[in-house]
Amino acid sequence: MRIYVGADHNGFRMRNSVIDYLKRAGYDVVDEGDERLDPDDDFPVFAHKAVTDVLTSNDEDPRAILICGSGQGMCMAANRFKGIRAALIYDRQSAKSSRNDDNSNIACLPAKELEKDETNVIIETWLTTPFAEAPRFKRRLRQIDEFN
């Protein structure tokens, strides 16, 4: 599984920690962030990079993790694109349900709310929870794409 990771200035430090964790866990990681902290950067730029890569990836199950202060901005920016199902992830239950019920392909994390150890558990839950593929879940996902 290839995972694209992007963050604005609020998520800069968490992004580095997330990338280290993912690489140690054996995931194929692509860093979509700045090399240095820039307090003037804007989250839509990083969301767009990751979304574009997820949508054009040859990987069987490409995903992205986007990080900003609240997670909300990244989530809104990512969800502007057809085929993207970005979810605000703030605990294990939200990670699990976003995958099981909604087949999310992008996790948006609130850097200002999560601790490092908690973040790793949340990410691992999100990455390892399969989509349930229940007919009602599939129907709802088709509706999202039709309305977009």
Q: What element of type H or E holds 22?
A: helix 12-24
pLDDT at residue 145, as a whole number: 85
pTM exceeds 0.75 for this model: yes
> From CA 45, how far away is CA 50, in angstroms rounded?
9
Residue 28 CA to residue 58 CA, distance in Å, equals 13
pLDDT digits 0-9 by tens, 40-74: 899 999 999 999 999 999 999 999 999 999 999 99
Dihedral of CA atoms 101, 108, 65, 143 in degrees, nearest 10, equals 40
Query: Read out DSSP for 49-64?
Result: HHHHHHHH--SSS-EE
pLDDT of residue 123: 98
What integer pLDDT is reported at residue 148 of this predicted model? Answer: 66
Nearest to 132 by CA among 95, 94, 99, 87: 99
Q: What is the pLDDT of residue 35?
A: 87
Determine which helix (DSSP H) or strand (DSSP E) holds 17, and give its type and residue range: helix 12-24
C-beta neighbour count of 85 within 10 angstroms: 18
The residue ranges of the chain whose pLDDT is under 50 are none
- Which residue, among 18, 40, 111, has the nearest Cα to 71 in the 3D structure? 111
What dihedral do alpha carbons 23, 25, 27, 33 form, nearest 10°? -40
